[in-house]
Structure 1
Amino acid sequence: MTSETPALTAKNLNLPNLRHAFFTRAGGVSEGVYASLNGGVGSRDAPPSVQENRARMAARLGVDAERLLVPFQIHSAEARAVREPWDAEARPRCDGVVTTEVSLALGVTGADCGMLLFADPKARVIGACHAGWKGALGGVIEATVGEMEAHGARRADIHVALGPAIGAMSYEVGPEFVARFRDADASFARFFAPTDRDGHATFNLPGFIASRVEALDVASFEDLNVDTYADEARCFSYRRSVHRREPDYGRLVSAIALA
């Protein structure tokens, strides 16, 4: 049954009248590099396969397929409120989405970037955001929480969970990348560790995301601690696909809904 599509969940989001799922690559119909639960409409996968995969995700969340909403992600710090389904051609260009509407699932995609889900069960406000290094550095997490607050949420009541993302030991970057973070804030140097390659370092994206969330003084934060690059059985990974010179890659979906 499609409603039994496998997914990971966060303990701190197992709240009354709330459904959420960090979907893995298992349980879909896609083939090849997209096997099997590819949720990326921007991939070159067969559109009917992606549509069926999205429908299975929606069923797991208890909503109709057209009510699982994923924005057109642009690695921005932009967050927007959502009140009703949109046409596929009219997806908002942003990386954070928030709603107070019942039976409307908000999702984001990722294949190494961080995917975060948010919930204030008291105010009944939920959110989702896509936080790669650029969005996390630019403030997409703060923007998503701010949009939730604009709709009645309180930071002290917001629970946040980070789904699969590339792990620190899998993410090597060059000196220009390191310099960008150090120029923004010298304290960000703590998220880098030198490698054997001159000037290169590993970057702890989950740790950086955690620091941004925890600085907001939210109710709780949970990291599922799943490395997309290393965990090939469960995760798609853009970086892994590049290293293997594969033609394309699938996208994971993480989503949340008020029941």
Structure 2
Amino acid sequence: MTLEILTADSLAPMRHGFFTRKGGASSGVFEGLNCGTGSSDQTEIVAINRARVADAMGVAQDHLAGVHQIHSADVVVVNGPQLEKPRADALVTSTPGIALSVLSADCQPVLFADEKAGVIGAAHAGWKGAQAGVLEATVDAMCTLGATRGAIHAVIGPSISQRAYEVGPEFFETFLDEDPENTRFFAGGDGDRMHFDLPSYGLSRLRSAGIASAEWTRHCTYFDPDRFFSYRRSVHTKDPDYGRLIAAIAL
């Protein structure tokens, strides 16, 4: 089966893609293109999947850069092949031949590009990282490499949608404490439960950062099991583990 790669016109002509689970070598609960080295999938199979991604991105396998994601606002600058993955949640580069990648399974994978300046970025933005400022930090880091804030385009890839993201009152209070206007990202649920709109929250923060454009591909990871892995769905179905999707952009 061939790879399925979702793209966005606003990031063209940069090579980029939000890869679905189709076209991979994994099996079982990881069936398809599981690129999560932290999963319990077979190491050699994950390596095969990642090699397919590198090939699709037109880079050597050791030039497919990533990070050990920790739900932070930390950003690293990539200048060449990585010997190990640093602990962070975003990457930026202005070095040709490098592909930046992030993993997700409900959290937001976000790709950034300033084509004129030749600067790209990638961020993993769950609610913690987004609230901590990882999206704005990625934009700032790109600007230190020569990007212009008003020329940066950002695209949020497949993420959990609001109707699938049920949260409790403590979660709501966390966002209310940050800004009372954050109530607009919540909708009522059963009892004291609410539904959080993670992509809309991400878009709001990106647009407030003053970049050229921000959009979401509008793909929900939870409700499309044939195409996407989902942590929350795996919990509901009591699976022992779950696959990780990959998103990448290259110079």
Q: Same fold by TM (over 0.5)? A: yes
Does structure 1 residue 62 correspond to structure 2 residue 58? yes
Amino-acid identity (%): 50
Deviations along 1:45-99, one digit per CA (max 9) or x if unpaired, are 0011100000000111000111111100000011111101112xx2110001000
State the match for 1:212 in structure 2: 205
What's the TM-score once normalised by structure 2's chain length?
A: 0.98
State the match for 1:191 in structure 2: 185
What's the TM-score once normalised by structure 1's chain length?
A: 0.95
State the match for 2:11 in structure 1: 13
Alpha-carbon distance in structure 1 between the residues aligned to 2:173 and 2:182: 10
Q: State the shift of 1:222 in Å.
A: 2.0
Q: Which runs of 5+ in 1 are unaligned?
A: none
Alpha-carbon distance in structure 2 between the residues aligned to 1:167 and 1:11: 22
Q: What is the RMSD computed on CA atoms of the aligned residues? A: 1.0
The code of the aligned residue for 2:74 comes to: E
State the match for 2:167 in structure 1: 173
State the match for 2:221 in structure 1: 228
State the match for 1:101 in structure 2: 95
State the match for 1:150 in structure 2: 144
Alpha-carbon distance in structure 2 between the residues aligned to 1:46 and 1:105: 24
State the match for 2:111 in structure 1: 117
Deviations along 1:132-158, one digit per CA (max 9) or x if unpaired, are 000001100000000001111011110
Give the secondary-structure state (helix, strand or coil) at the position aligned to 2:175.
helix
The code of the aligned residue for 1:201 comes to: M
Alpha-carbon distance in structure 2 between the residues aligned to 1:174 and 1:153: 39
2:122 to 108, 128, 145: 128
Alpha-carbon distance in structure 2 between the residues aligned to 1:135 and 1:224: 20
1:200 to 193, 196, 219: 193
Q: State the shift of 1:231 in Å.
A: 1.1
4+ residue runs over 3 A deviation: none
Give the secondary-structure state (helix, strand or coil) at the position aligned to 1:123.
coil
Contact 1:10 1:222 in 2 (8 A): no
